[in-house]
Structures are given as structure tokens and as C-alpha cells.
Amino acid sequence: MKPVKKILALILAGVMALALLTGCGKATSLNRTIAEGLAEYHKSELAQLGGNNNNISVSYQVPELSRDIAPLFDENWITKGRNGDILNSNHMVNSKTVEATLTDILSPYISATSAVTFQAADVTDVKTPFMEALNLTNSRITFDNNIQSIDPASVTSMKIEVTHKTVNGRTYALAVMIAES
């Protein structure tokens, strides 16, 4: 009976080790899930509207979003307009407009061959990542630099990051996308 107990103990130890290792998988956060959805949306849009047939590489890291932009973001960045919320370009952050602040923070990415976009959406009552991504793509709370002058067919890489911030009981999804050619 002792050999059976030893074998059973070894099997149990193996099962417990396997159970421990299952926690080491590639768990995806909500922010990453939404960023991946945005990347797929923009790649599809570039292919359909811009004729982009490039194999666009995507990075999901724009550290300035969570490190520099999110701490500054508050509801004053948003103006209620007739057709929905828009970025309040007159709001001052550290004695600069929101647009000047975003330009300063994102300046390492701004060039003649890149387009930089910041978007925000109120996602307080949104229940699914798909709807959050949709709200971000439809958001009029947007800052973009050079988006009109970059050729959509020439984009070869993108950087996208999403983070969430709660301000006065409202939750906002914030996103930065950099398209480079």
C-alpha cells in the first residue's frame, strides 16, 4: 500500500505544480485588449481606405500615456458641444493649452513621417471591450498631429496604448496611436 501512496503523492504534486503554472499564462489586460482591437480596426481602415498592403507591425507601448498624460487628464479637457463632447482646446494644463501639453509630451513621436493621435471617451456605463474600442474610434475628444499629411498607404508601423482613468466618478478610456511610415 505504501508504493501506491507514494505514486498518488507524486501525481498530486504534479497536478498542484501544473495548477501553479497555469497562472503564468499570457493574461491580457482590458487596456491591452482594447489596444489590440484599435490596432486591428486601424489596420483594416488603412487597407480599405488607403490601399495599404503593408504588413504593419504594432507595438503596444507608449509609456507617456500612463506616465505623463493620464495624471494630467481631467473632465476639464472635455467641452460639451452640440454634436457631442470635444477636446477643450482652451483648457490650460500647467500654463499651456491641452493641445500644447499633448504636443510637448508626445514630441518624441512627432515627425514628418508620423501621425500622432490622442483620444478619450467616457466609458463609465460601457460593458464590453468592443464597445469601449468603438467609443474611442468614434470619439470627438481627439488631438491629432500630422494625420492629414501622412499617406495611409505608406504606414508600416503603429504604436498604440490604452489606459483608463476615473475622474469624479466617471471612467474615461484614453488612447494614443502613432502611425509611422
Q: Is it the case that residue 7 has pLDDT exceeding 70?
A: no
How many Cβ atoms sit within 10 Å of the Cβ of residue 68? 15
Please state, in angstroms and as integers, the Cα–Cα distance from residue 28 to each residue in 33, 94, 147, 171, following that order. 6, 34, 29, 20
First to last CA, the chain: 70
What are the tens digits of pLDDT across the range 30-50?
999 999 999 998 888 888 877
Q: In the 8-state DSSP scheme, what is residue 146? A: S
Q: In the 8-state DSSP scheme, what is residue 152? A: G
Average of per-residue pLDDT values in the chain: 82
pLDDT-based confidence at 72, cuts 50/70/90? very high
Provide the strand spans (E) within 18-94: 57-59, 78-81, 84-87, 92-93
Provide the strand spans (E) within the chain: 57-59, 78-81, 84-87, 92-93, 96-97, 114-122, 141-145, 157-167, 170-180
- State the cell numbers at 20: 501553479
Q: Is it the case that residue 28 has pLDDT exceeding 80?
A: no
What are the tens digits of pLDDT across the range 13-25?
454 554 444 455 5
Q: Which residues contact 99 (CB under 8 A, 6 or more apart)?
A: 87, 89, 143
Asked whether the beta carbons of 49 and 152 are under 8 A apart, the reply is: yes
Asked whether the beta carbons of 137 and 41 are under 8 A apart, the reply is: yes
| Per-residue confidence (pLDDT) for residue 3, from 0 to 100 | 58
